[in-house]
Structure 1
Amino acid sequence: MALRHVIGLDHVVVAVRDLDAAAAGWQALGFTVSPRGTHSAHMGSGNYTIMFGEDYLELLGVLVPTPHNAPMRAFLDGREGLERAAFTTDDAAAGVAELQARGIAATGPIAFGRPVTLPGGGEAEARFNVFQWPLDARPGGLRIFACEHLTRENVWIPALQSHANAVSRILRVEVLATAPAGAAASMAQLLDRRATADPDGAQRVPTGSGRADLVFLDRTTLAARHPGQSLAGLPEEGAAVLVLGTADPAATAAALGLMPDAPLFVPATRANGVALRFLPA
């Protein structure tokens, strides 16, 4: 039985060392990037968001070391990249209780917020409750948590959802794993979902509600999925490729500076440690 209070992929977190430089780099790829946000003091972090239809991408950096951001600091000691995946929850407190009732040592909820500069002027506040799966529950090296949006209107701002590269959603997250079947089985157990095999042997875990899937695969399979593309800058284990849906591949190619018939792919060396693949959606 699927978890009642975990709905599907909400957003992915790309941990970066220089927030402003990262935002400029993603803008150069045709993304509309939100104004910079600063989280509540106990979080010690700041962010930029890239908003799509029902999901989004977060560029997250450490501003002040705190106990909460210690795991991300440890990650950044090694590399930048897609460090976490967040799932939507409709009730963070109920979500924690649901996991704990199943013997999973979830923690939270933690409440926090950040000011939001509105496109037309003025300021609002985005507020959230989050809970986390245990820190050692990291299938394929991917940490997971859940986010309850208390002020969705201050996050999904229409002016921020239109991108020159025409991206409209996250289709899947491809995660490198030394043992893909085992990693997928572990993630499926944490989410109370069922892993299935793709034709190429990659292992797919749906997150629910038509949101993006998590796909676990080895390096050989990843290379076969993206033939001729550079895999430089990708980890041995961890989230490697973010597959994004575009409503207009020609606009995507133009925004990326590619020929219209070229594969729509950005190597990890240009996107803070995560490769980007664009497919029609």
Structure 2
Amino acid sequence: MGHQGGRGERRISAVFLGIVAVMAVTGWAVWTDYAASPGLAVFLFVTSAWIVSLCLHEYAHARTALHGGDLTVGAKGYLTLNPLKYTHALLSIVLPVLFVIMGGIGLPGGAVYIERDRIAGRWKHSLISAAGPLANVAFAIVCTAPFWLHALDGVPVAFRFALAFLALLQVSAAILNFLPVPGLDGYGIIEPWLSHRVRRELAPIAPFGLIALFAMLWIPEVNQFFFGVVDGVLSALGVNERAAYCGQDLYRFWQGGDSFFCAAPVE
């Protein structure tokens, strides 16, 4: 008999609700131009929204694993959306936030621990890995909805820029997560279909996959190509490169920014 768990194991945590509250309040401050420093408000709004998306990413993994047969995820607290319950809170939350601040990259973090031996069927394993980045895809679609629905009338410029930058983070996170690099979700999708020999040989590389990926993105040519792909996806979703740039410019309020460049309306 598996452990079914009680309602407490699936009750949304106060920590997550607190982060959502920060996102709502700072989003309102950006929308109404209430804040004395719009850059600070954008920073807090985008950062809290980014953490919310990280929580939803990990929740998607856990929830899919629960339906796949791993009934232990509830007892581990993964269904409460509490980021402090993750296996590595540092990898899951702190490092992705630092990556956003340093390079404007939605780099995925680590991880909820899924007991894979409880789950039968290769398709289930692949779906569990895919669920996380698909949550980022869904978040990106929501962020870009005002753009591709041509519903920007009445949306304040600062809020528009913040949404564009947040969408950039979601798109970049989804693309990076889907890469078949050991340690990332993309590899988790294909891993069940690989031979035991290949999986055994690649297993030692997994802990370093994320680090290697981050290092690669510091190579100018790789960085330019990657963000070219991200910009292409954003453009398809109705978000132009300038809006995302201005959102990042506002986000990094401590650097001052090219306010003249971002002052004019963005279609």
TM-score, structure 2 length as denominator? 0.30
Structure ID, larger Rg: 2
More strand by share: 1
Tell me which protein shows more helix as a share of its residues. Answer: 2
TM-score with structure 1 setting the length: 0.29
